[in-house]
A and B are shown apart, each in its own frame.
Chain A
């Protein structure tokens, strides 16, 4: 069975500081991994995805994530936080890569950015 664990329900950083949001996965097959962001009262927006190509994946808004098979991790980073990055972030793994991805989500990490 596939699952995702996000360490830290809340992460607080200062504006301009490094952002690191942690995600570990469990999968019996090569995983497809995703990061989504959710702003208040909105749906989910795709930040980036890993689908067995390059292990370092670059996404929108300056975010990137590195797939590390040995550590079963897919942590999300951004070199310099901006106030507009404050949101809820979800890591997800796909249940399959057949016709379309059926996603299993982690419980989310709320990013707070201090001025």
Chain B
């Protein structure tokens, strides 16, 4: 059984660009949540997808968008990147049977 995987590991972008981060959920999990962790802070909830539908959103602007695929993998898209978007982006998956999120290793995004 594989855990939650994320790609890429690291990414460097410039202001104004767009980025797509990817997450493969743990086998058997149908829910994916995304979190942003700025340096020295706790993770902040961005949004959650349950069975391919958005199921809750945190206090993030619309330029943060997501998608969940039929195999329950997920993408996080960020448009018009800003310097403050530099952070570790964490994906977490869970299931109906065990709802506690399991986290992936994260993608470190640097915006220059």
A102 to chain B, nearest CB (A): 5
**B31 interface residue, CB < 8 Å from A?**
yes
Main secondary structure of the interface of A (DSSP, over half): loop
| Known pairs A41-B105, A99-B55 / 19 extra A-B pairs, C-beta < 8 Å | A43-B103, A43-B104, A43-B106, A44-B43, A44-B103, A45-B103, A49-B100, A100-B33, A100-B94, A101-B94, A101-B101, A102-B33, A102-B48, A103-B43, A105-B44, A107-B41, A108-B40, A108-B41, A108-B42
Interface residues of A in 88-108 (CB under 8 A from B): 90, 92, 95-97, 99-108
**A67 interface residue, CB < 8 Å from B?**
no
Contact A90 B94, CB 8 Å, known A101-B100, A102-B56: no
Instruction: Give the interface centre of A34, A42, A49 by most chain B CB atoms within 10 Å.
Output: A42
B7 to chain A, nearest CB (A): 13
Interface size on B, residues (CB 8 A): 27
Interface size on A, residues (CB 8 A): 24
Q: Of all chain A residues, which has the CB nearest B49?
A: A100
